[in-house]
Structure 1
Amino acid sequence: MTYNLRPEIKIKQDSQTWTSYDQIAEELNQQFVAGKKKITLECYPGVDLSELEQQLFSKLTDVRLVKADDYAYDAETVTKKIAANLTEDRVFGILSHATLDEFYPEYEVKQIQQELAKEQKNIVVYGTGATILLPNPDILCYADLTRWEIQKRHRAGMPNWKAANEHEDNLKKVKRGFFFEWRVADRLKQKLTDQMDYLIDTNVPNQVKMVDGESYRTALDQIVAQPFRLVPYFDASVWGGQWMKEEFNLDSEKENYGWAFDGVPEENSLCLNFSGTKIEIPAINVVHQRPISLLGKKVHARFGNDFPIRFDYLDTVGGGNLSLQVHPRVDYIQEKFGMPYTQNESYYILQASEKSTIYLGVKEGTEKAELFDELHRAEKGDYRFPDEKYINCFPVKKHDHYSIPAGTIHCGGPDTVVLEISQTPYIFTFKLWDWERLGLDGIPRPVHLVHGEANVNTDYDTAWVQDNLINPFETLYEDNEGRVEKTGLHELEFIETHRHWFKKEAKVKVHQSVNMLNLVEGEEITVESLDNSFAPFEIHYGETFIVPEAVKEYKLVNQGDPAKEVAVIQAFVRNLA
């Protein structure tokens, strides 16, 4: 298989890039010589400031360095200020609506600004919040970092911003990032994009790269005018399988891969190739900075600068069951966590065997009180929850598609590869039962029975599930060239999915929405423009890709065996007009 583990976007326009600390230092020193004495280097939380100090600032001439983080409130004060957002829960918090300046005492900011106004030396203010201390510099640099790299650094011991939590449970570090840090940092980054003179990629330790701001903004314009792929990443799980390891040519030394994040702009990155210099940026930057071209006017009007569709893989081939779980109702997630909408989802079965199953909905006559009495008993240990008494278990086969609206108890079974197609708020999974397992960290995985009991809908029982959630296929169009099927999702979910079968080619409309797609059958296709506005874009089996709404209409062309049908699953936001 030719699954591309490192897709990149070739930027057409010539650009200025710098590929080492020495080159970046030379460029900044030249700015000083040119009379631009004040430089702000704003940093996303998690950027290694000690590396910048050692590798970059030591090479600058006649400079006063000001570390912005030192002027923010201390770790204890910041943690107290966001206590309501963090909550006592190990996994879930409440979304912060704060801005970064709220964590800088006004008197400290005024004092340092008065000092800097009198400073005769060259000035570099750096760190998270640098633009709060020096908001109108001669030169604005932004040091960026992807979410996956941040999470890996947390696992290796890095604390959160303004938090003395090096040894804290990693789930709590991710929670602090998700509910607080990333929100305030993204709000600031959105404001600074049009002002940036330079963007710095700090994802690989000691291998920094930089591109000029104008080239970066031009690249954003190009991205939302063509199909593109995100850079996928893969992670182990207690239930993880072996299929992706083999089929996607992953590290054979790893015990398993349960997750593949191949279509999650909030988590994934983009690799931009500027004439040979590859700059990696968080994919969420494109969503925040070019939302209307990417999402479309109607989707943007409903979701703002938020990407509402998510694709990922769940692999249990040679592994075990997922956790038994449920997702929250919309009113619940809004009230308890400050999220605007919930994680309705679906399971598209990419691979299956005779052992493959899905747990979906409760059995007829199940009483919620009795169900949760059993789950609470199992939570205490030394008792196996009798899932066969309460939960439906259905066999699945390749190309089945199961809708899972919020409130439905569900769980993926063994020996299955699931393409999970869902609405984006991905962190809100209420585990109910985890088959007596420990997490990869040796600690029992958290269950959330209080949240679960408030959200499980026992009306979603056997008959209802069979009538509403299992393979609700409908042929929308068919001719000698191919067919288009509606495969879901349930009417309570805002995502629509169409499956395109064809041997030669298929024309596809975006339906006034950004499209997320995956080649679920076949070897290779190209995504082609109807007006030659972008070059043919190559897609291999299992690869997820995005087509911006601005493209309007495009063509899928089979590049494999012309005698065999290929299939592409297409997801978009339903137009309710």
Structure 2
Amino acid sequence: MRISNYDKYPATALSGFMRCGWDDIVSSFSEELSVHPVLAIETYVGIHEAEIETALDTLRPSLFIRMRDLYKSEDDVRALTQRFVTDDPIFGYRTALTLVDFFDSDKLAAAKRLVAQSAGITVVVGAGASLIVPDTACLVFADLARWEHQERMRRERVTALGIDNHKEAFSSQHKRAYFNDWLVCDAHKEQLFAKVSYWLDTHIPHQPKLIDADTFMSGIQKTVSQPFRVVPYFAPAPWGGQWMKEVFDLDKEEVNYGWCFDCVPEENSLFFTVNGVRFELPSINVVLLESRALLGEVVESRFGKDFPIRFDFLDTMGGGYLSFQVHPTTDFIRKQFGMNYTQDESYYMMEAKPDATVYLGLRNDIDRDQMSADLRAAARGELVFDAAKYSNRLPAAKHDHFLIPAGTVHCSGPEGVVLEISATPNHFTFKMWDWERLGLNGKPRPINVERGLQVIDWSRDTDYTMAQLVNAVVPIAQGDGWVEEKTGLHANEFIETRRHRFTTTVKHDTLGGVQVINLVEGEEVIVESEEGRFSPFIVHYAETFIVPAQLGAYTIRPYGLSAGKMCTTLKAFVRV
């Protein structure tokens, strides 16, 4: 098994204002309060507000307001959010609420009057703090990446917007965050970017860091002015394998690692290294602030401030089968969940042992009614579903590319490492069979046979699958030392992929749209601008990086240990 120099902590380096530790941070706040006597700490959902409040007690404010005391009653908040959270164990509906909807209007108005009347130092902490303070207040935003919020849901007590749901199952907490709280908080944050004076990083408890607005904006603009990587995160899975432990040098004590989320900007973190000190923030801030520069005008016009391309790894080396599953059609996801597009995807085989397989599409001439009956009976525990009876079980080799437009049944098998390339809505998988196993929590994972049966495209049989979904490679161009191939995706999908095999410099161009690239073969390459628009950017094996639309022309060539050797990249972009 190969060992790479995969960088788990990519960062944008810059200089600027940085304070570390509560003593220095509170000292900075004291200086601000001598000019502006009102301090407002906006918090993202999942932030440990108690730690912040304890630190700010040393300011000895004459008025201290906790925004959580101004919420509507929990019963009212649950009623307010019910149509978006729903009773379904996994799925909800995209919210239409704003943050102000969660507050008792009388309490909010009374708190605003108290702030206006206060003669001494005033401190306000919590989501919505900016709603009750004057424009002259010193506004601080304590931000949090969605992935860290999910980790906190699993391991400790965190509350949702307006309710304490920490005793609920993780799936219930996650559903509320995914369909409601994250969307509400991001929409509120987007209104505050120009007003925030300081950004507070509390991702690591009791190790806070503070940067000012100029440093924050400088970091965002520098990030989007060059190729960049978001911070990957890793997670175990019921089917997870052992490959990433070795290749990415992960914790050997973990039972497995099934997932590596290497490019999911909605959930990943972004690192700035400010004066040599790491500062963590949600990578979605780049999308929210610089969507035109990042995505390009055409992509932005279609997706708004959504980053439409997702890259992640699925590791089943020494592991098991993923669930036998299907993704909803665009029409279904729009009507049922309020989402604008669905999770079309593909499996690109990074690594594969000789017996690696995938299930893809349906076999010719299957009995649709019998398959439906068997899936329902298996969900009731009455039989073991025979996936091979109904779905094509295909051998999978390194560099194979399997295309999976929505409505196609599929499943990755053991002894492979998949680079999954998909549209971003990553929550909508209808598991129809889970191989008689339990989830990591010791409980069965939710099965969605009925929803799955509603969206299966029954015309995608063996003939269709082999003709359109397996290694649909088309030569595009070649030159001295390089070859470009189209490997997908399916015509129904909006993502296009291009594979480049090269021993010398290859010219690329964003053509005005964001591109996402992974080095699928080779030790390292270097990304450069012939015009010097950005500093040379080094990429190692298996690393995913983003090329902002505004960069235009750039080159990639083998570098370091790979100089003069064959390397392979896989590039994805939005088809226009």
Q: TM-score, normalised to structure 2's length?
A: 0.98
Contact kept in structure 1, 2:37 and 2:120, CA below 8 Å: yes
1:457-511 deviation digits (Å, cap 9, x = unpaired): 1101100001100001011001222111001000100000001111121111113
Matches within 5 A, 1:160-179: 160-179=160-179
Structure 1 residues without counterparts, runs of 5 or longer: none
1:322-346 deviation digits (Å, cap 9, x = unpaired): 0000000001000000000000000
Contact kept in structure 2, 1:511 and 1:572, CA below 8 Å: no
Contact kept in structure 2, 1:316 and 1:415, CA below 8 Å: yes
User: Which residue of structure 2 lines up, in the alignment, with residue 288 of structure 1?
Assistant: 288
Aligned residues: 571
User: Which residue of structure 1 lines up, in the alignment, with residue 131 of structure 2?
Assistant: 132
Matches within 5 A, 1:283-432: 283-432=283-432
SS state of the match for residue 226, structure 2? coil
SS state of the match for residue 312, structure 1? strand
Q: How many angstroms does 1:563 deviate by?
A: 4.1
| Aligned mate of 2:9, from 6, 9, 21 | 6
Contact kept in structure 1, 2:12 and 2:219, CA below 8 Å: no
Contact kept in structure 2, 1:157 and 1:167, CA below 8 Å: no
- Over the aligned positions, Cα root-mean-square deviation in angstroms equals 1.1
Report runs of 4+ in structure 1 exceeding 6 Å deviation.
none
Matched to 2:232, the amino acid is P
Matches within 5 A, 1:480-519: 480-519=480-519
User: Which residue of structure 1 lines up, in the alignment, with residue 232 of structure 2?
Assistant: 232
Matched to 2:66, the amino acid is K
Q: Measure the CA separation in 2 of the matches of 1:166 and 1:492.
A: 41
Identity of matched residues, %: 40
User: Which residue of structure 2 lines up, in the alignment, with residue 120 of structure 1?
Assistant: 119
Contact kept in structure 1, 2:346 and 2:422, CA below 8 Å: yes
Matched to 1:154, the amino acid is M
Q: Measure the CA separation in 2 of the matches of 1:434 and 1:195.
A: 48
Q: Measure the CA separation in 1 of the matches of 2:136 and 2:151.
A: 32
User: Which residue of structure 1 lines up, in the alignment, with residue 468 of structure 2?
Assistant: 468
Contact kept in structure 1, 2:509 and 2:554, CA below 8 Å: yes
- For the pair 1:73 / 2:76, whether they are aligned, the reply is no
Q: How many angstroms does 1:30 deviate by?
A: 1.0
The range that moved more, 306-315 or 365-374, is 365-374
Q: How many angstroms does 1:564 deviate by?
A: 2.3
The range that moved more, 377-386 or 226-235, is 377-386
User: Which residue of structure 2 lines up, in the alignment, with residue 543 of structure 1?
Assistant: 543
User: Which residue of structure 2 lines up, in the alignment, with residue 16 of structure 1?
Assistant: 17
User: Which residue of structure 2 lines up, in the alignment, with residue 111 of structure 1?
Assistant: 110
Contact kept in structure 2, 1:194 and 1:217, CA below 8 Å: no
Q: How many angstroms does 1:76 deviate by?
A: 2.2
SS state of the match for residue 203, structure 2? coil
Q: Measure the CA separation in 2 of the matches of 1:288 and 1:198.
A: 18
Matched to 2:437, the amino acid is R
Matched to 1:117, the amino acid is A
SS state of the match for residue 172, structure 1? helix
User: Which residue of structure 2 lines up, in the alignment, with residue 434 of structure 1?
Assistant: 434
User: Which residue of structure 2 lines up, in the alignment, with residue 57 of structure 1?
Assistant: 56
Q: How many angstroms does 1:411 deviate by?
A: 0.2
Matched to 2:444, the amino acid is P
Matches within 5 A, 1:235-250: 235-250=235-250
Matched to 1:16, the amino acid is F
Q: How many angstroms does 1:562 deviate by?
A: 3.5
Q: How many angstroms does 1:144 deviate by?
A: 0.5
Contact kept in structure 1, 2:102 and 2:162, CA below 8 Å: no
Matched to 2:5, the amino acid is T
Q: How many angstroms does 1:62 deviate by?
A: 3.8
Q: How many angstroms does 1:176 deviate by?
A: 0.6
Q: Measure the CA separation in 2 of the matches of 1:513 and 1:97.
A: 29
Contact kept in structure 2, 1:22 and 1:59, CA below 8 Å: no
Contact kept in structure 2, 1:349 and 1:416, CA below 8 Å: yes
Q: Measure the CA separation in 1 of the matches of 2:179 and 2:477.
A: 44
Matched to 2:270, the amino acid is L
Matches within 5 A, 1:19-34: 19-34=20-35
Matches within 5 A, 1:39-58: 39-54=39-54, 56-58=55-57
Q: Measure the CA separation in 2 of the matches of 1:279 and 1:50.
A: 21
- For the pair 1:206 / 2:206, whether they are aligned, the reply is yes
Contact kept in structure 2, 1:502 and 1:566, CA below 8 Å: yes
SS state of the match for residue 193, structure 1? coil
The range that moved more, 114-123 or 285-294, is 114-123
SS state of the match for residue 195, structure 1? coil
Contact kept in structure 2, 1:29 and 1:61, CA below 8 Å: no
The range that moved more, 269-278 or 416-425, is 269-278
SS state of the match for residue 189, structure 1? helix
Q: Measure the CA separation in 2 of the matches of 1:157 and 1:446.
A: 23
Q: Measure the CA separation in 2 of the matches of 1:471 and 1:136.
A: 58
Q: Measure the CA separation in 2 of the matches of 1:333 and 1:554.
A: 37
1:56-112 deviation digits (Å, cap 9, x = unpaired): 212214442100111011222211110111111111110102110011122111111
Structure 2 residues without counterparts, runs of 5 or longer: none
**Aligned pair in 2 of structure 1 residues 142, 256: CA closer, same or farther (>3 Å)?**
same
Q: How many angstroms does 1:136 deviate by?
A: 2.4
SS state of the match for residue 192, structure 1? coil
Q: Measure the CA separation in 1 of the matches of 2:61 and 2:360.
A: 66
Q: How many angstroms does 1:267 deviate by?
A: 1.2
Matched to 1:5, the amino acid is K
Q: How many angstroms does 1:135 deviate by?
A: 5.5
SS state of the match for residue 120, structure 1? coil
SS state of the match for residue 149, structure 1? helix
Matched to 2:236, the amino acid is A
Q: Measure the CA separation in 2 of the matches of 1:412 and 1:554.
A: 34
- For the pair 1:218 / 2:221, whether they are aligned, the reply is no
Matched to 2:9, the amino acid is R
Matched to 2:19, the amino acid is W
User: Which residue of structure 2 lines up, in the alignment, with residue 520 of structure 1?
Assistant: 520
